[in-house]
Amino acid sequence: QVQLQQSGPGLVKPSQTVSLTCAISGDSVSSETAAWHWIRQSPSRGLEWLGRTYFRRLWFDDYAVSLKGRISINADTAKNQFSLLLNSVTPDDTGVYYCARGSEFGVLIDAWGQGTPVTVSS
Amino acid sequence: DIQMTQSPSTLSASVGDRVTITCRASQSISGRLAWYQQKPGKAPKILISQASSLESGVPPRFSGSRSGTEFTLTISSLQPDDFATYYCQQYKSYWTFGQGTKVEIK
């Protein structure tokens, strides 16, 4: 049974970078039938998909159009984990950030991390 | 982008009631729809995939159905553990969620 354990700071200053990590147990970040997603939740935006990374002989990633240029998701095969970097943050980026697994070749989001509340404030 | 319109936003019900939540997609998503349950302070938990397939371990009082671009989650007899917020999500083209339905005690 896959488990996802998130870590990272919960308070970030405006214009700085949100940096979160998701450690995977019970599956492999290099699995060619899974994808690894980041999703956030806020009262104003609801649940919002941010992006994903996945391995199909090579590494690929996709990002929400609204965040392109500010977001990067990377895998660390040695530690079996993946990370989120979101830069140039504003208070509008405040919310709870979740990592998640997509099964069935990455499309069905069926397992979630515990969530990390992130506040953007000076 | 595919938009998901979920209704109602809040639903007041009693234990034993039959509850129905509806989600409409802005365009065809075939059956690529999932339902999630979320309790306060917790991550969403998947209940149903492919519009009507019950996930392992989910009680059979939960069911899902589809008619074109309209999808329904039904709880046949509401139990105390079912008071929560429910979300639909399409996974036909990237991923978008409905705004959620909070099921509260009447």
A85 in B contact zone (CB under 8 Å) = no
Percent of chain A with pLDDT over 90: 95
Q: Among A1, A18, A13, A7, which Cα is nearest to A79's?
A: A7
Q: Which residues pair with A36 in a beta bridge?
A: A53, A101
Chain B residues whose beta carbon lies within 8 Å of the beta carbon of residue A64: 94
Q: Binning pLDDT at 50, 70 and 90, where does residue A63 land?
A: very high
Q: Binning pLDDT at 50, 70 and 90, where does residue A60 land?
A: very high
Q: Which residue in chain A is spatially nearest to B3 when comparing CA positions?
A: A48
Chain A residues whose beta carbon lies within 8 Å of the beta carbon of residue B91: 107-109
Chain B residues whose beta carbon lies within 8 Å of the beta carbon of residue A110: 46, 49, 55
Contact across the interface for A47 and B32, Cβ inside 8 Å:
no
Q: Binning pLDDT at 50, 70 and 90, where does residue A105 land?
A: confident
Is the pLDDT at B18 greater than 90, yes or no?
Answer: yes
**Average pLDDT of every residue of chain A:** 96
SS3 B85: strand
Q: For the segment B59-97, what is each residue's pLDDT rounded down to a tens digit?
A: 999 999 999 999 999 999 999 999 999 999 999 999 999
Dihedral (CA of B76, B81, B85, B90) sign: negative
Instruction: Provide the pLDDT for residue A104.
Output: 86
